[in-house]
Structure 1
């Protein structure tokens, strides 16, 4: 799927093609085939996991250099360090408010729904052999370790390791230095513009494999976990999916209306990305295309380049919903008492631990184990209960992360006066430019 550029050097998506050539149709067909293979031939479905993992790795190898070029160019073209700081501060304020609301929504719903009540699980009798690898990945938590982990060991180390926050820090520093160079920096800006076009072109090539990746990922999920997992923990899954919907339409919906656009139309516009997230259970795989689509929607590239990468670490609404829901579920399932004060403490801990969910393999599950060990009381071994449905839960949290970050970018662009409202309505209403 080729990606062209406009006269303003903003990557633009190709004009709509016939229905069977559209990516979202191809992904839907691939998902349907994957579900059929996984259901009727579970062993064959499980063996298709490399297709999904391979696609995710292909996209992830491009994310760090794309963020690097996009952020540096955005800052250099902004030509005003005060504005860079203002956008960053507004973004962080918005992220903190929304993730707090996500945690509150999840805590309210899970306490009312009580999906774990009556399970009476004895954590000491659970087989924890399957979670040793995850629990072993818990890291130091707290503000100081978190901030120290943002600083890479070397300048190129952040690009090599693909740590989003580290790449963002390096890009902001270099972009700020480029502003100070003035005219001397223009040749470097030209080089980065060419590199950026090349990288987005590479994304267009890799996205041809999206249906294949979706097919392999969904076949693996259905083949490995299937109906059995749905039946055993169906109440938790239903509770979590409803929680995600309540947050999307009950919290993000009003924010969208305040910003003057329809959330339904935005979700229709991002349908391809939502489907890829749903199939691969990874929101990172659509980060490059999300950058393109939000720029084409009328958000200034300088704001998009700062907010989207930052949001992938600080605005993980779906991950916050997951952590709060599953933590209280495990307390209910193991008959661990959690009074109001303890849940407020839990909310405070989750506000911090959820920020460490980016760039870690099996991120949400690892952070969940870390949260339980930090809070105490709830047996860490109880996470073995949800290991079998973690991937099914991820099919709710990853699209929520994507939609939350898209709404955040539009909201902050409007707040900053960096949104072309007329263009946004033309695009969302499918009108010709």
Structure 2
């Protein structure tokens, strides 16, 4: 454990306008206003958001690789690695299934699509043809084979999180098995990780620009007015996701001895970034660093966060069953209990089969409906206009779910540093992307871990 020192406190509080979350929030508001009052200009700013997301994706593979390799090699207990993975996947399976069930129950109770009386024959199926084609390619077998990269290096350069995870785990295990002979490599990788996380801090300076461009594009292209047409669905989805986070994940957090609201406050800058860009990947490097900084071991963070981004998609799962039943209700298709259970089972598989695919929420919905013939796939055209707005809520819910999973698995393993975690939850540690002492603290953590070994 790191002793209490000035490193754990910000000796000179920065002005409010220098905080990343304030800058991102201002950028989001400015983007909304520009997109609303000058939609053509807002739509033209799409490259700003795309460029920032590309910058972050550029650094994701090195962050995941270094975090996992140094974490596993530093543990030197391969049985512990397997135990952590088993606990993480058990958690993912339970709460992903629960999210699907929640979406199904809410759709049956609220019935947001009832009364629309849409004739499926009048819908333009061509609008969703591309999504249906991608869903057809996203089979479970194809997904499993896709985890294996064509080469070791392509796993680090292909942009597939699961391939990077696969390569990093293998390399970390190999490094751990050679014992002391791998110590020099491990120390070099730990030093390299300091530079990589410093790059993350540099890239986060551009977060307000990216959020501004992405939000201006969204409002400029789709317009706030599109929400009114399907307000019942959007409102139901947002409320359901909020209740899932506060009630379900809040209960899990309380059972594990922490507050979900304090965790959300701790991650406020990342959550605003996810909101502005509609992509949880944009905040993945920062989430990894912040969870480590909050007392979660690097080995657990490295396993839980990247795999959670593909297997622990609470928001996406709520969306899938809720949207599927909305389409059925709007088209006057009454599903029996057996058909709804079939829908649930298919959604459990398809949500894994399209993991890591851009626009995964809409694609997995297409994959599910294509296997359940009772609900017309063409009905997806009904929600295409507001899917972008729901994408933001999906990403936020997924992000919070993975943060909670990381803390829970760390606690199950008895590896959560409670003093460091409590300090982080009470704002007594500098934020990684905002403070130049971040690298110093990271070095202190690495050195302390080395002494513990």
Determine if the TM-score, normalized by the shorter chain, exceeds 0.5.
yes
- Alpha-carbon distance in 2 for matches of 1:75, 1:24: 32
Structure 1 residues 349 and 427: alpha-carbon distance in aligned structure 2, compared to 1, 3 A threshold: same
- Alpha-carbon distance in 1 for matches of 2:302, 2:180: 22
Structure 1 residues 16 and 83: alpha-carbon distance in aligned structure 2, compared to 1, 3 A threshold: farther
Q: Is the 8 A contact 1:110 1:328 kept in 2?
A: yes
Runs of 5+ in structure 2 lacking a partner? 431-453
Q: Is the 8 A contact 1:11 1:292 kept in 2?
A: no
- Alpha-carbon distance in 1 for matches of 2:128, 2:279: 20
Aligned to 1:347: 344
Q: Is the 8 A contact 2:135 2:354 kept in 1?
A: no
User: Which range is displaced more, 128-137 or 416-425?
Assistant: 128-137
Aligned to 2:200: 203
Shift of the alpha carbon at 1:133? 2.2
Q: Does 1:312 align with 2:309?
A: yes
Q: Does 1:253 align with 2:250?
A: yes
Aligned to 2:178: 181
Shift of the alpha carbon at 1:69? 1.2
Q: Tell me the alpha carbon deviations over residues 177-209 of structure 1, each in whole angstroms, 9 at most, x when there is no partner.
A: 111111221222123223222221111111111
Q: Is the 8 A contact 1:12 1:292 kept in 2?
A: no
- Alpha-carbon distance in 2 for matches of 1:215, 1:38: 10
Q: Tell me the alpha carbon deviations over residues 323-371 of structure 1, each in whole angstroms, 9 at most, x when there is no partner.
A: 1111111111111221111111111111111123432122211111111
Q: Does 1:279 align with 2:283?
A: no
Q: 1:168 aligns with which of 165, 170, 183?
A: 165
TM value normalised by structure 2: 0.90
Aligned to 1:114: 111
- Alpha-carbon distance in 1 for matches of 2:371, 2:172: 37
Shift of the alpha carbon at 1:261? 0.7
TM value normalised by structure 1: 0.94
Aligned to 2:423: 426
- Alpha-carbon distance in 1 for matches of 2:11, 2:66: 22
1:31-430 aligned at under 5 Å gives the runs 31-140=28-137, 143-430=140-427
Runs of 5+ in structure 1 lacking a partner? none
Q: Over aligned residues, Cα RMSD in angstroms?
A: 2.1
Q: Is the 8 A contact 1:49 1:217 kept in 2?
A: yes
- Alpha-carbon distance in 1 for matches of 2:9, 2:135: 41
- Alpha-carbon distance in 2 for matches of 1:396, 1:14: 36
Structure 1 residues 169 and 225: alpha-carbon distance in aligned structure 2, compared to 1, 3 A threshold: same
Q: Tell me the alpha carbon deviations over residues 14-44 of structure 1, each in whole angstroms, 9 at most, x when there is no partner.
A: 9752110000000111111111101111111
Structure 1 residues 65 and 6: alpha-carbon distance in aligned structure 2, compared to 1, 3 A threshold: farther
Shift of the alpha carbon at 1:142? 5.3
- Alpha-carbon distance in 2 for matches of 1:59, 1:12: 28
Structure 1 residues 354 and 110: alpha-carbon distance in aligned structure 2, compared to 1, 3 A threshold: same
- Alpha-carbon distance in 2 for matches of 1:95, 1:55: 29
Q: How many positions carry a matched residue from both structures?
A: 427
